[in-house]
Structure 1
Amino acid sequence: MNKLLLWASIILVTTFCYAQNNQIINVDSRKNISLNGTWHYIVDPYDTGFYDYRFKQRPENDGGAYWNNSESQDATQWTEHGYKSPYDIQVPGDWNSQDRMFVYYEGTVWYQREFDKPSISENEEVYLYFGAVNYEANVFLNGKDLGSHKGGFTPFNFKIPKELLKDKGNFLVVRVNNNRHADEVPTLNTDWWNYGGITRDVKLVMVPKQFMQQYTIQLDPVQDIVDSQKKGKYKLKGTVKLNVAGSGKVTVAIPELKVKQQFDIKGDSLHFEFEAKKISLWSPENPKLYEVTFTYGNETVTDKIGFRKIEVKGKDIVLNEKKVFLRGICIHEEIPQQVRRAHSNADALQLLGWAKELNANMVRLAHYPHNEHMVRVADSLGILVWSEIPVYWTIDFKSKEVLAKAKNQLTEMITRDRNRASVIIWSVGNETPVSDARTTFMSNLALTAKKLDPSRLVSAALEVSHKDGVNHVDDPLGQYTDIVSLNEYLGWYGSTPDQCRTARWTVAYNKPFFISETGAEGNFGFHADKTARFSEEYQEWYYNEQIAMFKRSFPDSFSGISPWILADFRSPRRNNPTYQEGWNTKGLISKNGERKKAFYIMQAYYKQIMEKEKEVNSKK
């Protein structure tokens, strides 16, 4: 495997330049104007607005291009497109839930709205920011191409040239295409709904010509927490990245800690460190956040940041020098009662509130980066987070271009969320079939994550091999991850739950062992004998047998579980006409928000673990 590591290192060097460099973080703390609300749309399944009848991309000034305004006072003008009511659509939001004709639609939809020039000084610039667009976005302003972005779950932004801005009626058009392709991330085959649209916030962001594009601040990950607690002071480390090279002073302040430090910056980046006294460490039991301000020139950016240390010691996951068991639950970015993408702070409060009710202290955000509200609310509620990129199932592992796309999404995810104390695990993929090409691809992502952020754990949902009736956790990718995570469905696919009683396991790695998925379908209100699949009783039986197996069979490295899944969700793969009808019903909560019997099984199990932890900690 040494040769494999060498290949991964070579790829890391040669393709890292593909990552996006101009991402602006924490836009809500900067001067901004929301462009959310009602937009106009054109459904364009043939991509007529982008390509001519010879399927050549239209030139910029082509009157038939949908990025150009077709309105004219000249009655003789030829036009075959236009934007007006009642062709209205709400942003943020997926198109699938806004009109029945969009339910299964995959293709191009053009979004359009107008805005007036914001009030800016001579020394300010305007950026157009998107929280996410699924999957490909081409952005045009006043007939000019601002740029494009691929990746349906990470933010991006473009600088708007000042000469392009008009005082009134700036004509903004976004071509959104959610077609699936074999050479994209995710690829053709997934087990979730392909919601299309501008699914997250859109903003105009006003910043100085030279500004703090990104910053980080955290506990020095190599310091000894126990020693720091005894001394009553901690070392903090951080970075500031400017949009362009410059010089001057950067001030970092944490008023509650009576900290105000000033540093010289030369070039486009700064690395700093200093000590702070009596920090209250962030944890699920104490989700303490501090107001932190960064000031450079005339700009001050404020954030709420928690300080904590996450690491692996032997077979344990350790948070602030205390062993932690991850009482998890998987979540899709979906509000089931309204059959739509989640996107707001209220949505995050609903989903994470359900997790807290379950007695969970951790969520696995599957299978892609969720919106920023989710991780910020997790910070405030004290919920640990596993955040993942959609490298899922049958990615083209031999393609350098696909690897570059995956690395770009990984970089954008880490860049946005590396100041969130709640995020403890970066996941580089889910259930990817073992091969040399796949392990090279995936190990490269793991190495990239560690290079970008060595202070957190890296994992993936690994594969399990089966031989002589034994389940072997021996996926070669496990040597590159910090914890051994796997998905298992003993009792649902190809067996019944009593198979758990005789299941045998071996683990090839001396690392923490985490069940990243397990679950069975159960329809709320369908009651029958426990052997009847899709009944609440079957799902209840499944979890009872799983819990018994956890207690009996798993190794001493068992560090947690995140059942699949918090709530029922939409999937085109699930087509049983009686029990599914396009829904995956493995949720512990139904599509209408009702708690199933299995919810209370896991809730009680987690309560038992909590009580044991309190008992152990009280004796220390």
Structure 2
Amino acid sequence: MKLKIAITTGLISLAMQAQVPFVKERNHINLTDWIYAKGINFNAQKNSFDIQNWQAVKVPHTYSMDAINAIGYYRGESWYRTPVTIPQSMDGQRIFIRFEGVGQQAELYFNEKKIGEHKGGYSAFCYEITDLAQANKPNLLAVKVTNEPDFKVIPTVDKLFNLYGGIYRPVQVFSTPKTNIDPNYYASSGVFVELKELQKDLATIQIRTHLSTSTPGQNSTINYTILDAKNKVVAQEKRTISSFKKDTILSENFQIKKPILWNGRQNPHRYHAEISVTSNNETDKINQSFGIKTVSANADTGFHLNNEPYRLYGVAMHQEWEQNGPALSDQQHQQDMDLVDEIGATGLRLSHYQHSDLTYELADEKGILVWTEIPFVHDYSSREDGNAKQQLTELILQNYNHPSIFTWGLWNEVRAHKSKNEPCVLLVEDLKKLAHKLDPNRLTASASDRGITGNMENITDLQAWNKYFGWYGGKYGDFAKWLDEAHTQNPTIPLGISEYGSGANIKDQDETINNKPFGIHFPEIDQTHGHEITWEIIKDRPFVWGSFVWNMFDFSVAGWNRGGVANRNHKGLITYDRSTKKDAFYFYKTNWNSEPQLYIAERRNTNDHSNPTTVKIYTNQPAATLYLNGKKIETQKLISDIRIIEFKNIEHQKGNNKIEVKAGKLSDEINWISP
């Protein structure tokens, strides 16, 4: 059963998809210690090149911290070198090198010979180095990197986020037997699990395995074992492979009885496929996890997961920290996803590019539905077609089996002002066709900052809009009128909100001075107020198929000078250094996370309170009690549908005041100073 996708009142997709890091299952070494030099260095791949003044660095590494800390940042070439010692255990095997991401373009040299290049700063790439590698001898790996904007490579500009340079994700050398499950097929796992049909008590899946050999063998075998989350075998198959000379694709169908669906946060159940190929008495084996699910978006009833209504709300997220730029450790990726989980998000938009392998794995595990996208953003040159298709192919094939991914994003804020024949429109039409050819079961999506209908709008299966009422103009409450009119006037178009929000500097607590959106003062109280109004509007309109706060974290945009900090976009719910969760974070956590919550809002506004004043709290408990300087003042029941209680007309003393609130077993307290 294949479901056709069409823009009607209902959009339906079959999807199943988690990619275990297949490199780690093989004999491998991590390349972490490098030397580095900024600038143009001719023939730096040569062993004889003078490296006396090069700097020792650890990968992940970026050379673009000046984008965060300075005005204007370096956009140009740099070089990295590292010695590679191939262990004896890899001798006689096929040897590969895989980069998870290099910003933005890379040329690779191994033992002075160019082995390849890659254009695109966010996807992985892999090359075989078997014929060049010398076991138990020093080998030289050299990489020329550039982050200079290129009109043939997306993104062509850095107006929305920085084009960081460097080897900012892990690098690994690994080996396989001469016949393997092909790691060179777009740097993917080489295994693709597709849901072909789903009935009540039976799921039919197809496993496509890309095989490669450098030494043809006779009577090779491939073994499949599928296990559920409790490691119970649900299907098995062993097949003999007739002789093949180089590369081949094997397809095998399996039936899973009484399938357990991957059901978001409620039950993110994953199956595991163990696949091994044996030839000439050598075996290559990998594991791929996947999930079984269906998703749909309806113009009237919003998002559905496994044919049941499922409110899809959450955040968008860039991958960078103030301390490290994009060169993040596994622990930092884990912390970011733990925070997304903590806030209670059911959806996550990974803006505006392919994110790390670990991020998708954690989304699979936590049950968070993911919109992931290519960096086709803002401006276009009309000559980026080939690279956009390359990056979309890599995005899909490298992340095919992740159950969390429900849509492939094709563009963000790209504008076609003249006609539907503009190059960007034609490119998106091609990208949609390519996405469905590579992955017939997932939807495509895009994010517009223009009108409901237009030259670029509604080409993708899902359309969403970036709307900032109350920030770039109008009032926060204008969101309601826009949504209602858009829904009434376009009753067959499912409406999504890909971005909304406002900026806040936590050091700015004077709500009487507000210079939004381009000035110096962005008081936190205004951001909080905007989110309170906007979320109440969205939650009461189930026809919104998804909504994503912009942004989970503050991030850098070089050249900006807004909100009192240079190079900063302040729209995050958490500060750039991850040290402070803003009040708006706790507002959403109280509304989205079902665990007991209690938080005193406006806690950084500790001075110059009027007398009497108002104490505002967020809680999902049935009632809360306020104490002032140890004395019980008042108990209120929760009646707000956005989980706010306000204790009004609270008289307090001059000087320090202890504010304490209790709700059930929860308590929170702060100190206010009254002049």
CA distance in 2, matches of 1:190, 1:460: 18
Are the equivalent residues in 1 in contact too, given 2:60–2:168 (CA < 8 A)?
yes
Aligned to 2:253: 273
Whether 1:522 aligns to 2:521 is: no
Are the equivalent residues in 1 in contact too, given 2:104–2:163 (CA < 8 A)?
no
CA distance in 1, matches of 2:261, 2:327: 30
Q: 1:84 to 1:296 in 2, by over 3 A?
A: farther
CA distance in 2, matches of 1:551, 1:24: 35
> 5 Å matches for 1:504-519?
505-507=485-487, 508=490, 510-519=492-501
Partner of residue 493 from structure 1, selected from 456, 472, 475: 472
Aligned to 1:404: 386
Q: Deviations over 1:379-429 (max 9, x none)?
A: 111111111100001122x33xx1110010111111111111111111011
Structure 2: which amino acid aligns with 1:251? N
Report deviation, 1:271. 1.5
Aligned to 1:318: 304
Aligned to 1:251: 223
Report deviation, 1:538. 1.1
SS in 2 for 1:211: strand
Report deviation, 1:86. 6.5
Q: 1:609 to 1:562 in 2, by over 3 A?
A: farther
Aligned to 1:549: 537
Report deviation, 1:113. 0.9
Aligned to 1:350: 335
Whether 1:67 aligns to 2:17 is: no
Q: 1:83 to 1:606 in 2, by over 3 A?
A: same
Q: 1:105 to 1:358 in 2, by over 3 A?
A: same
Structure 2: which amino acid aligns with 1:545? I
Partner of residue 50 from structure 2, selected from 55, 78, 82: 82
CA distance in 2, matches of 1:571, 1:101: 11
Q: 1:314 to 1:102 in 2, by over 3 A?
A: closer
Aligned to 2:154: 185
CA RMSD of aligned residues (A): 2.8
CA distance in 1, matches of 2:192, 2:294: 12
Unaligned segments of structure 1, at least 5 residues = 1-22, 50-64, 71-80, 466-472, 612-620
Q: 1:512 to 1:143 in 2, by over 3 A?
A: same
- After alignment, is 561-570 or 193-202 more displaced? 193-202
Are the equivalent residues in 1 in contact too, given 2:321–2:328 (CA < 8 A)?
no
Unaligned segments of structure 2, at least 5 residues = 1-18, 183-188, 517-521, 597-619, 621-675
SS in 2 for 1:32: strand
Aligned to 1:295: 276
- After alignment, is 494-503 or 417-426 more displaced? 494-503
Report deviation, 1:85. 6.9
Aligned to 1:30: 26
Are the equivalent residues in 1 in contact too, given 2:99–2:126 (CA < 8 A)?
yes
Report deviation, 1:103. 8.3
- After alignment, is 122-131 or 499-508 more displaced? 499-508
Are the equivalent residues in 1 in contact too, given 2:124–2:394 (CA < 8 A)?
yes
Whether 1:41 aligns to 2:26 is: no
Aligned to 2:550: 564
> 5 Å matches for 1:85-124?
87-97=55-65, 104-120=73-89, 124=93
Q: Deviations over 1:539-590 (max 9, x none)?
A: 11211232243256x5x521221110001001114213x6231110000111
Q: 1:100 to 1:520 in 2, by over 3 A?
A: closer
CA distance in 2, matches of 1:32, 1:535: 50
CA distance in 1, matches of 2:238, 2:298: 35
Structure 2: which amino acid aligns with 1:68? K
Q: Deviations over 1:158-205 (max 9, x none)?
A: 111425525321111110111012232100243112221001111111
Report deviation, 1:217. 4.9
Aligned to 2:195: 220
Q: Which has the higher helix share?
A: 1
> 5 Å matches for 1:125-204?
125-165=94-134, 167-204=136-173
Are the equivalent residues in 1 in contact too, given 2:528–2:584 (CA < 8 A)?
yes
Report deviation, 1:34. 0.9
Aligned to 1:601: 587
> 5 Å matches for 1:330-341?
330-336=316-322, 338-341=323-326
Structure of larger gyration radius: 2
Partner of residue 475 from structure 1, selected from 454, 458, 462: 454
Question: What TM-score, normalized by structure 1, do the two folds share?
Answer: 0.81
SS in 1 for 2:526: helix
Report deviation, 1:609. 13
CA distance in 1, matches of 2:573, 2:196: 36
Structure 2: which amino acid aligns with 1:291? H
- After alignment, is 118-127 or 448-457 more displaced? 118-127
SS in 2 for 1:328: strand
Partner of residue 373 from structure 2, selected from 385, 388, 405: 388
Are the equivalent residues in 1 in contact too, given 2:342–2:593 (CA < 8 A)?
no
Are the equivalent residues in 2 in contact too, given 1:428–1:458 (CA < 8 A)?
yes
Q: 1:429 to 1:265 in 2, by over 3 A?
A: farther
How many residues matched?
A: 541
Report deviation, 1:484. 2.0
Structure 1: which amino acid aligns with 2:223? T
Aligned to 1:574: 560
Q: 1:354 to 1:475 in 2, by over 3 A?
A: farther
Are the equivalent residues in 2 in contact too, given 1:95–1:102 (CA < 8 A)?
no
Are the equivalent residues in 2 in contact too, given 1:30–1:205 (CA < 8 A)?
yes
Report deviation, 1:591. 2.1
Q: 1:406 to 1:595 in 2, by over 3 A?
A: same
Report deviation, 1:331. 0.4
Report deviation, 1:362. 1.4
Whether 1:589 aligns to 2:574 is: yes
Report deviation, 1:512. 3.0
Report deviation, 1:292. 2.2
CA distance in 2, matches of 1:543, 1:313: 25
SS in 1 for 2:344: coil
Structure 2: which amino acid aligns with 1:474? T
Question: What TM-score, normalized by structure 2, do the two folds share?
Answer: 0.75
Are the equivalent residues in 2 in contact too, given 1:358–1:603 (CA < 8 A)?
yes
Q: Deviations over 1:270-319 (max 9, x none)?
A: 11111123432222211223332111111111233333233445654322
Aligned to 1:329: 315
Partner of residue 430 from structure 1, selected from 395, 412, 416: 412
CA distance in 2, matches of 1:272, 1:475: 43
Percent identity of equivalent pairs: 26
Q: Deviations over 1:314-347 (max 9, x none)?
A: 65432222222212100001124x2421543312
Structure 1: which amino acid aligns with 2:60? P
Q: Which has the higher strand share?
A: 2
Q: Deviations over 1:500-545 (max 9, x none)?
A: 4654632546243210101110111321227724111111121123
Structure 2: which amino acid aligns with 1:564? W
Structure 1: which amino acid aligns with 2:222? V
Are the equivalent residues in 2 in contact too, given 1:530–1:541 (CA < 8 A)?
no
Q: 1:91 to 1:474 in 2, by over 3 A?
A: same
CA distance in 2, matches of 1:167, 1:425: 45
Report deviation, 1:494. 2.9
Structure 2: which amino acid aligns with 1:33? I
